[in-house]
Structure 1
Amino acid sequence: MALLRGSLTRLAILLAVLVAIGLLPWLADRDPALSVLRARYPGREATDAALDAVRAELGLDAGPLAILRDWLAGLLRGDFGASWTSGEPVAETVLSALGVSLTVMGAALAVTFAVAALACAPALRRAAEGRPVGAGGVAVAAFAALPDFLIATLGVAVFAAWAGILPAYGFTSPLHLLLPALAMGLPGGGVLARLGRDAIGRVAAEDWVRQWRTAGYRRGRVVRGLLRRALPPVVPQFAIISVSITGAAVAVETIFAVPGLGRAALAAADAQDLPVLQACMALLIGFGFAAGLVARLAARALTGDATAIPTAPTVSGGRRGHLAWIAVGAGPLLAALAYGFARSGDIATGSRLDGPSAAHWLGTDELGRDVLARLGQGALWTAGAAFLACGLAYALALALGFAPRLAHPLAEACNSFPVAIAGMLVVVLLGRGQFGAVLAVVAVSWPPLAAHAAELVAQARTAGHLEARRALGAGRWWMLRRHTLPLVVGPLAAHAGLRLPGMALGIASLGFLGLGAGADAPEWGASLARSLPYLERAPLAALAPAAAMIALTVAVMAAVAMPQRATRH
């Protein structure tokens, strides 16, 4: 019954998303007729008569229901219509791009599985031999949290621009596949490796493992038993990894100039070519939903349980080690923030793309502005937006936690949306802006928090002493205020804190793609995108925001995962 209910909820949400995509021409913030007029007839004046003629030509004057009916009917036939800018059939462009994207995604999944297998193999061997399996440290956790666009940027800088051993742009040989596959697959591989090692460590502590070793079972049989017990809670995570790879295609294909579906979707969003954008989004989201369904069925087949969102992996290390990592991450950021405030009025500072000097410690950017000052000012744009997104996602998850039958299937279904797709939807509906980026990040960040909140609420409601409280006359609102909420608010806030670096990097990724902060904003992702073309001449202009994102991730993860000081009684 749970599987059927979850599948129906997933299908209902997929249908709702397809309806929203089909209505994009009617819901768009910018008049589609104006975009088409400028693309097809650049010298023609945008009069009311001209815009009405374009609307009639495109069928936009028929109303939202007719627009939706025609698009859904075409989708069922495999007909995506014609491009508004070029007039060519959308299917020809999109299907060729889909083949490229599937090739890159397949290579990225291979990288993901290889990284997870290589990291978990030593843990399996140690567990089978009765030795402890350690959890990953803060550095490993931070690496697993790094986004694809940041890894792609570092890959271009190290292997293409400086070492010159791999091509950075294009898609004409197998070598062009290597850097995109690594950028898309390494984050997911890190997450799976950490979840797998944690699951193996928990299973290794069970009594049957010790009994099997005592009985003289061969190591291979113990390893198979460990895998059978450790895999089920990790298998559903494959769906989320597949979705993240789907979203990564947008940024990675853009960085490496790969002619795939993600790059085509971003170009269509920029040009307001909605038929191409609709087709790309439908295919990308359909892939994510299909991956989620497959992972759910696989988990069900393994154990009969289809729990989709495991608990966050642990981070090893004592308080002193975590404090050291906090200092390593937060210290340079606070110094850059102070420097940025001190130089806030100093905009035009010198010549373009200068190297480090006594006057400008990290040099100047493409417009001659101090890189370090802009970095400090951008901290408020990126980290501030992330805190806002975290607060909104927390409030939404807390509210949904008290409706577990709704929270669990909604959370599982909405995990099929990558942040880049949500960002493109928000841009079409509301226009570009930092608050739109916040809304897009909230839209994809609340599901794991809501699932966790539902579990916490269920645990609080089944506590043994509640019957005694009710017998003494405690009412429902008193129980909610004095018992349930205190048991839910704190753990959920800690979980939200663990998600904060990912939200900050989501904000930065949308800025990097041009879907968030304005082109001239000091936001870290937008700054990185502006500086990337000048990587060889002024590397610090690009590496400074990248280093800031890494430092923020390290500091926040170390702070949230720091062990609590033991209390004395």
Structure 2
Amino acid sequence: MVGVSTRVAGLVGVVALVGLLPWLSGEDPARRLLRARSAEQAPTAEALAAIRADLGLESGPSGLLGAWASGVLRGDLGVSWVSGTDVLPSVLGGLQVSLGLMAAALLVALAVAAVLVLPVLVRGRGTSGGVAAMLAAVPEFLLATLLLIVAGVWLGLLPTSGWAGPAHLVLPALALGVPAGGLLGRLVADALPAVLDERWVELWRGAGVRRARVAAAALRRVLPPLLPQFGMVAVGLTGGAVAVETVFAIPGLGRTAIGAAKSQDLPLLQGAVLVLLALGLAVGALAAWLRRVLLGPGLRDAGLTLPAPRPVRVPVAVPVVLAAVLVAVIGWGLLRDPYAVHTAARLADPSPAHPLGTDALGRDVLARLGHGAASTVGTAAAVCLAGGLLGLALGFLPSLAAGLADIANALPPVMVGVLVAAALGPGPGGAALAVALVSWPPLAAHAAALVQEVRAAAFLRAQRAIGAPPLWILTRHVLPAVAAPVARHAVLRLPGVALALASLGFLGLGAQPPSPEWGLLLDGTADYVERAPVAALAPAIALALLAALAVSLSAYTRRTDLTKEPHVAA
């Protein structure tokens, strides 16, 4: 019951926050609306009073929330502050485009996952775990940019922007579907070998059952426990679609939300975020229903779990080499000035003076990479510390954590970044807050598993039997056993957090120019990729190295601390 109540409370809280967006920034909503409609008009008392009366702002936050909620129940999402048109048609139009993109991306994801899983079904063993992990770790915005540059600009094979036909769907669907397919393929390929080693498979094969039927039964055995994670992958497509729609100028719901946040069109933003949240929750509910159907009435309430997956084997030298390369580049760049402008050397080729060339203003790309990494890594370290502390605390309250985690998982970092930017304005602090709000569930799950294991230990039962106080047991035994593994887990998530921060910077929701943040650097390079390819691709290569480091550290984590974490529960 605690989990259900926290889910309901969390959902109500998120909806209330969306409804109160006009008030969260602390700025007068009437003044913000006046600036959104006409930046030149003076905010006179008469003009502000007219806007408050027109929109019902005089009733205050509670009255505005009530009016907005009642309008939502009637199917009325309000009127755009910028265009003055109804919000609902704009949201529905964007939703139609986004659903088409999601459907195409899911088809790509299933095809990629099938290619990764097929060798395991045929041979009973697979070597695609590393490939799947690499594909899963590639950020959608980075893959979208690379596809746009290579397939769209250099080769001219496919359109690079717009939404006018099937050809415009290919590159965006690949950018979204390939990472999702890598994750789905890795989940299934990790679990299948252990399932194929189970006793029933040997009996079926001995009885002469065809290989295809055994493979189908193994997939039927694997899929139900994995379906909740499949649902999270589909929800992640809504968050990834925001960046992909922005890269390819697709008029989808994510791009609508980004545009509304930047223009401070809060009614349009409210409608877009509300629909995206409902879409995420609906996908999660659909995954739960499919799981129940696959399990059938006999196993519906059973504690069905999958065997622990075999870890992806990554030599220790791989993360060491990747980290050494990144540290060397960052250290070299920190010795140089990232803001010095040399107009005579704009878009210069690599040279001893500028090893990676210069950007469109003549600034040294290596210097900007180094200083941007330092600020991004520092912010990521603070986010990991906050997430580790929150995850550790919630690990002792598993029912509460499970309910809150469902809400956090239904909100991808990009959408939380949009909300924070709408309330506080874009900036590095808002981006860090957005990532921190949704990055704690894996740490909380890890902490909860360790707490359960330690509390069941025989030596703790002996301590209780001799009358040891609960506080003494907690501080002397439970916390030391849980805190260290969770702290290492949080540190190893640092590259992934840095990538999430870079994605928000890429969308203009994080650090602002002239900051050398990596996401901003990548966003500004596509315009001159043909004239200065090295300078343009340097941020993309650096982000790819960071993604590879995240993969190798993730594999190392699975072999050490996370082997204590349950893989998948029914």
TM over 0.5: yes
Amino acid at match of 2:326: L
Q: Deviations over 1:149-206 (max 9, x none)?
A: 0110010111011111011011101010011111111111111111111110221232
How far the C-alpha of 1:263 sits from its partner, in A, is 0.7
How far the C-alpha of 1:134 sits from its partner, in A, is 4.3
Residue 280, structure 1, aligned to residue 277, structure 2: no
How far the C-alpha of 1:316 sits from its partner, in A, is 2.8
Larger mean CA deviation between 476-485 and 288-297 belongs to 476-485
Amino acid at match of 1:429: A
Amino acid at match of 1:124: L
Residue 102 of structure 1: aligned partner:
99
- Structure 2 CA distance for partners of 1:433 and 1:284, relative to 1, 3 Å: same
How far the C-alpha of 1:494 sits from its partner, in A, is 4.1
> Could you tell me how far apart the structure 2 residues matched to 1:34 and 1:216 are?
76
Residue 453 of structure 2: aligned partner:
459
Correspondence 1:23-422 to 2 at 5 A: 23-127=20-124, 132-134=125-127, 136-137=129-130, 140-301=132-293, 302=295, 303-304=299-300, 315-317=311-313, 321-327=315-321, 329-344=322-337, 347-349=340-342, 350-422=344-416
Q: Deviations over 1:509-568 (max 9, x none)?
A: 11011111112111100111122222222233332111111112222432453467xxxx
> Could you tell me how far apart the structure 1 residues matched to 2:362 and 2:287 are?
50
Amino acid at match of 1:486: P
Q: Give the percent of matched residue pairs that are identical in Structure 1 and Structure 2.
A: 50
> Could you tell me how far apart the structure 2 residues matched to 1:264 and 1:289 are?
20
TM-score of the aligned structures, taking structure 2 as reference length: 0.91
Are the counterparts in 2 of residues 9 and 413 from structure 1 also a CA contact under 8 Å? no
Amino acid at match of 1:347: A
- Structure 2 CA distance for partners of 1:222 and 1:31, relative to 1, 3 Å: same
Amino acid at match of 1:502: G
How far the C-alpha of 1:463 sits from its partner, in A, is 2.0
Amino acid at match of 1:389: V
Instruction: Show structure 2 runs of 5+ residues with no match.
Output: 561-570
Are the counterparts in 1 of residues 338 and 364 from structure 2 also a CA contact under 8 Å? no
How far the C-alpha of 1:310 sits from its partner, in A, is 9.1
Are the counterparts in 2 of residues 353 and 537 from structure 1 also a CA contact under 8 Å? yes
Residue 441 of structure 1: aligned partner:
435
Match of 2:18 among 17, 21, 25: 21
How far the C-alpha of 1:44 sits from its partner, in A, is 2.0
Amino acid at match of 1:177: L
How far the C-alpha of 1:357 sits from its partner, in A, is 1.9
Q: Deviations over 1:239-266 (max 9, x none)?
A: 2111111111211111101011111110
Are the counterparts in 2 of residues 152 and 252 from structure 1 also a CA contact under 8 Å? yes
- Structure 2 CA distance for partners of 1:561 and 1:494, relative to 1, 3 Å: farther
> Could you tell me how far apart the structure 1 residues matched to 2:25 and 2:303 are?
37
How far the C-alpha of 1:307 sits from its partner, in A, is 9.4
How far the C-alpha of 1:238 sits from its partner, in A, is 1.6
Instruction: Show structure 1 runs of 5+ residues with no match.
Output: 565-569
Amino acid at match of 2:78: G
> Could you tell me how far apart the structure 2 residues matched to 1:48 and 1:542 are?
49
> Could you tell me how far apart the structure 2 residues matched to 1:83 and 1:32 are?
13
- Structure 2 CA distance for partners of 1:454 and 1:528, relative to 1, 3 Å: same
> Could you tell me how far apart the structure 2 residues matched to 1:292 and 1:237 are?
9
Residue 564 of structure 2: aligned partner:
none
Are the counterparts in 2 of residues 325 and 555 from structure 1 also a CA contact under 8 Å? yes
Are the counterparts in 2 of residues 352 and 368 from structure 1 also a CA contact under 8 Å? yes
- Structure 2 CA distance for partners of 1:107 and 1:7, relative to 1, 3 Å: farther
Match of 1:548 among 542, 546, 549: 542
Are the counterparts in 2 of residues 453 and 492 from structure 1 also a CA contact under 8 Å? yes
Are the counterparts in 1 of residues 502 and 519 from structure 2 also a CA contact under 8 Å? yes
- Structure 2 CA distance for partners of 1:379 and 1:65, relative to 1, 3 Å: same
> Could you tell me how far apart the structure 2 residues matched to 1:440 and 1:510 are?
9
> Could you tell me how far apart the structure 1 residues matched to 2:448 and 2:122 are?
36
> Could you tell me how far apart the structure 1 residues matched to 2:195 and 2:473 are?
36
Amino acid at match of 1:232: P
Q: Deviations over 1:192-236 (max 9, x none)?
A: 111111110221232222233233322123212211221122111
> Could you tell me how far apart the structure 1 residues matched to 2:201 and 2:238 are?
38
How far the C-alpha of 1:378 sits from its partner, in A, is 0.7
Are the counterparts in 2 of residues 84 and 274 from structure 1 also a CA contact under 8 Å? yes
> Could you tell me how far apart the structure 2 residues matched to 1:76 and 1:525 are?
38
> Could you tell me how far apart the structure 2 residues matched to 1:29 and 1:266 are?
21
Residue 425 of structure 2: aligned partner:
431
> Could you tell me how far apart the structure 2 residues matched to 1:436 and 1:307 are?
41
- Structure 2 CA distance for partners of 1:530 and 1:189, relative to 1, 3 Å: same
> Could you tell me how far apart the structure 1 residues matched to 2:553 and 2:39 are?
54
Q: Deviations over 1:421-479 (max 9, x none)?
A: 10011112222221211110011111222122222211221223322222233221232
- Structure 2 CA distance for partners of 1:55 and 1:442, relative to 1, 3 Å: same
> Could you tell me how far apart the structure 2 residues matched to 1:220 and 1:183 are?
32
- Structure 2 CA distance for partners of 1:292 and 1:59, relative to 1, 3 Å: same
Q: What's the secondary structure of 2:129's corresponding residue?
A: coil
Q: Deviations over 1:359-405 (max 9, x none)?
A: 11111112110001100111112222112111111110100010111
Amino acid at match of 1:459: E
Q: Which runs of 4+ in 1 moved over 6 A?
A: 305-313
- Structure 2 CA distance for partners of 1:427 and 1:552, relative to 1, 3 Å: same
Residue 520, structure 1, aligned to residue 514, structure 2: yes
> Could you tell me how far apart the structure 2 residues matched to 1:358 and 1:519 are?
27
TM-score of the aligned structures, taking structure 1 as reference length: 0.92
Q: What's the secondary structure of 2:458's corresponding residue?
A: coil
- Structure 2 CA distance for partners of 1:540 and 1:55, relative to 1, 3 Å: farther
